[in-house]
Structure 1
Amino acid sequence: MKLSIARGLILLLVALTLSACASRGANSEAQTSAERYVEIGFRHLQFDNAAQARIAFREAMSFHPQSPSAHLGLALVYQREGEPELAEDYFKRSMRLSSDTQNRHLYAQFLFRQNRIEEARKELLVVVADTDFFDRAVAFEDLAIVSLFLDDKVNAKTYFDRAITLNKMLPMPYWHMANLHLNDGNPRRAMAYFDGFQRLVSSDLVTHTEESLILGVRVNEAMQRQEAYADLLEQLKERFPNSNYLRNN
């Protein structure tokens, strides 16, 4: 179970968002150069090239020492490189330099990865309070996962539902809600959420994993939907023949 920072385009979105915010300020030649190096840095991070990203962010800071996006970029570089103290320092600098909610969202995800769960929860509550935040649905998803780690299933369900309301294309809230309701002995509600996940699969927006196929098998078995149960079980056997579920059932 992990937060959604793994989504492939998140870094590019950060770069574009912060560059757009910066462009509203002084439009000097130095500012323009800094923004260009920031964008280069985030592109390097997209391809896991932390060393080149660091160089680009440092270049950006040579043109604009108070660039919040360059500081954020360095925070992400040090996070990738397993330097949590340096990463936290640059996250906090970026937040002092800019009130952009994305900075705080990424900092909350950093805290979660450091197993500082309660601190992550507090930061995410601030993030989701920003009704204009472009990634608010994902922040609610993250907050729900943090709630699960705190064994707070009631709030987790509330936050997953908020994520679905804001963005019906997010697959994981459906998966988690189906799993939670099935484990609570409510297969009918679990089925409704799994059907939502299955619609995204049918639309080629997400691909079944071993875990989602197992969940589908369990839900359809509980609901006695034999055709769907058999289909998902066959997919599980074909794609994951060594699954522990198959060995134990």
Structure 2
Amino acid sequence: MNLSKNGVSQNHYQTLEVSDKATQQEIKQAYRRLAKVFHPDSQNQNADHNKIIALNAAYEILSNPQSRRLYDLELDSGQTLNSVINRQERTTHANQQYQRYRQAGKKEELQYHQWLTEVYRPINRLISLIINPLETEIDYLAADPFDQELMDNFCEYLENCRNYWQKASNIFSSQPNPAKLAGVAANMYYCLTQIGDGIRELEWFTLNYDDHYLHTGQEIFRIAQGLRWQAQEAIKSLI
């Protein structure tokens, strides 16, 4: 719970000024509208740093269907949600998933060239479509982040990125990697994990215009690019 200006406690739905039956799209639209009003950089007389913090906390819970269900249950019992899964937990989950992929690979190893053709190369092309345009897209948006058309174009780029990322993730999990390419597969898997986190950070920026999320997203993409290069060098050493 958080407090309104008059000291009365508000739940996350009240903070975002939506019904507890609101759709995910309505929640997103409400958050984006309020973030524009209260963001300290908006030069709006209603700018309020504490309100932005409350909006962020509310959206973090309600934008995730799983955490929203838990929150709804706790509202019914008069309790508040204690925590949200953080990036460290997601990374741990990613490690566990990757170990399962490796074990599956031991049972039924694919041929070297088949994996390169059907898994590595398609994923590498999709990663290029995500990472390569980033700097240009940010340069376009930098002209005026509060311009709706520029922001819509950047959001369209991020939506395409998420589609490419999901397709690449599906390709990666479709086949176990050959033991000979375990190192390459590890780099590509962690590259995709970083890209997923980077997209999420950039999406946060489009909702609240906080440059922290923009810079964090760029840095995560840089790390992902490094992992991709390591995979490419590893393949060269095997050819």
When normalised by structure 2's length, the TM-score is 0.22
> Which structure has the higher relative contact order (CA within 8 Å, separation 6+)?
2
TM-score w.r.t. the length of structure 1 is: 0.21
